[in-house]
Amino acid sequence: MGNNKVLEDEGLIQGIKQLDTNKIQKIVNETISKETGARLQAYIQTCMHCGLCSKACHYYLSHDNDPRYSPVGKVKQTLWKLVQAKGSVSPRDILDMAKIAYTECNLCKRCSMYCPFGIDIAYLLSMVRRICFKLGVAPMYIQDTSHSHAATMNQMWVKDDEWIDSLQWQEDEARDEIPDLRIPLEKEGADILYSVIGPEPKFRTQLIYQAAVIMHVAKVNWTMPATPGWDNSDMAMYLGDYEVMGRLKRLHFETARRLRVKRIVMGECGHAYRSVYDVGNRWLGWKNMPIPVIHAVQFYWELLQEGRLKVAKKFEAPVTIHDPCNIVRGMGLHEMLREVVHAFCENVVEMHPNREHNYCCCAGGGVINCGPPFKMTRVEGNKIKAEQLKATGVKVVIAPCHNCHGGLEDIIHYYNLGMKLKFLGDIIYECMEK
């Protein structure tokens, strides 16, 4: 069943063709000895194979408790096998492991909250991805996205002039509504650098429009860069190409430094926050971010607190809140998110479980970026999310994360939930005083 999907992916099929057991063994052992240490050893020595992490995983719950999808089950089929066999596995084994690590785990870290020893299972599966990447066996789409990062420093092959053009186009559009609105480019010494992810200029351009309107109304001294470094996203992190991840994060921070801004505000994206706050900064050797970066949820909350953003009317239809893993389980923004949603919405219905215990959208962790061959993997792998959404009985879901939108859209469509997705920015733009 699952294996048929693998055969559709050229990245995996072509990848294993250039492998032999010696090469696999060399790279596996080299990666484990050079890139892992006490943490991996401690996790292997501590896991008692109790299976308590199983019920934490949406893949496991959505596949009628199939143990192959439990977090520890996935580790058994991948990392344990590599460690026990000392890397002596076949190309076919690597293909199966790549499928599990890239497409059947969102690295959402929910399972760590259910493991009695707090084993960081997402870290273990990230190491499997790192090994697969170094072996050249990764789903084609996510590998291509990472190539785009490496070549253009953005996720979607957006050319330098297209980026500027998209911003000016949105500025033009917005000036129909607010004649003196600007999207300031390259403004040195601005308070805030606003950075977004590749898909915003590519196909969610209205989000840049809405952000510009919010910035204008709140009288924010802001700017956007006209150079590469504008994209804060990072699929290289999920691919396991940490070298490219480092280049991306460095350029993003350096762009902010070049423009001498006080801090970076990023659009509504979850994984980009993980990349600047948790993973990329560490790879570059920064314990904390060299320039403060705040997520859109924090930014809107601040504007609301300071009275720079005012509510003109309340959003009437009942809404529910989807807590994105990377900014909630990854940063604890759940209460701020709720305060903003409650300020703008009349009727908020919680889904359960929620906050840091919320189920992942199943698109995160780079899974949606593995492309069409794996669409059904994540849709079928998140039946539990469909049930969770349906149980709220509402028709509007607020999800302040791009990946969550992509994932939830497919789930809503496939399970006929008839729900609409909104970014926080959509609601604010619609209901704020302008």
Partner 1 sequence: MDKIYGFLIGPGAWIAFSVFILGCICKIGAIILATPKKDRVVLAYFSPKYGFRSLIHWLIPFGTISMQENPLFTLVSFAFHFCVLIVPLFITGHVVLVETFWSVSWWTIPDKLGDILTLIVLLCLAFFWGRRLWVKEVKFVTSWTDFLLLSLVTAPFLFGFIAYHGWIDYKLMLVLHVLSAEILLIAFPFTRLIHMFVGLLTRVYIGSEFGGVRHVKDW
Burial 326-356 (b: 16+ CB within 10 A, else e): bbbbbbebbebbbebbebbbeebeebeebbe
Least separation in angstroms between residue 117's CB and partner 1 is 4
Q: Measure the CA–CA gap between 35 and 37, rounded to whole angstroms.
A: 7
Q: Which is nearer to partner 1, 140 or 328 (CB)?
A: 328
Q: Which is nearer to partner 1, 36 or 369 (CB)?
A: 36
The rounded radius of gyration (Å) of the Cα atoms in the chain is 22
Q: Which is nearer to partner 1, 260 or 282 (CB)?
A: 282
Least separation in angstroms between residue 330's CB and partner 1 is 5
Q: Which is nearer to partner 1, 116 or 292 (CB)?
A: 116
The DSSP code for 432 is B
Interface residues with partner 1 (CB under 8 A) are 34-39, 41-43, 45-52, 54-56, 60, 65, 67-68, 70, 72-73, 76, 112-120, 278, 282, 287, 328-332, 334, 355-357
Q: Measure the CA–CA gap between 278 and 276, rounded to whole angstroms.
A: 6
Least separation in angstroms between residue 199's CB and partner 1 is 25
Nearest 5°: phi and psi at 227? Answer: -120, 165
Q: Which is nearer to partner 1, 37 or 189 (CB)?
A: 37
Contact criterion met (CB below 8 Å) for 109 and 124: no
Closest by CA position to 224, among listed 203, 199, 196: 196
Q: Which is nearer to partner 1, 316 or 335 (CB)?
A: 335
Least separation in angstroms between residue 112's CB and partner 1 is 6
Pairing type for strands 348-349 and 293-295 reads: unpaired
Q: Measure the CA–CA gap between 236 and 365, rounded to whole angstroms.
A: 11
Q: Which residue has the tokens 């789409």?
A: 141
Least separation in angstroms between residue 55's CB and partner 1 is 6
Least separation in angstroms between residue 322's CB and partner 1 is 16
The amino acid occupying position 201 is P
Nearest 5°: phi and psi at 101? Answer: -70, -40
Contact criterion met (CB below 8 Å) for 363 and 106: yes
Contact criterion met (CB below 8 Å) for 386 and 307: no
Least separation in angstroms between residue 300's CB and partner 1 is 18
Q: Which is nearer to partner 1, 93 or 410 (CB)?
A: 93
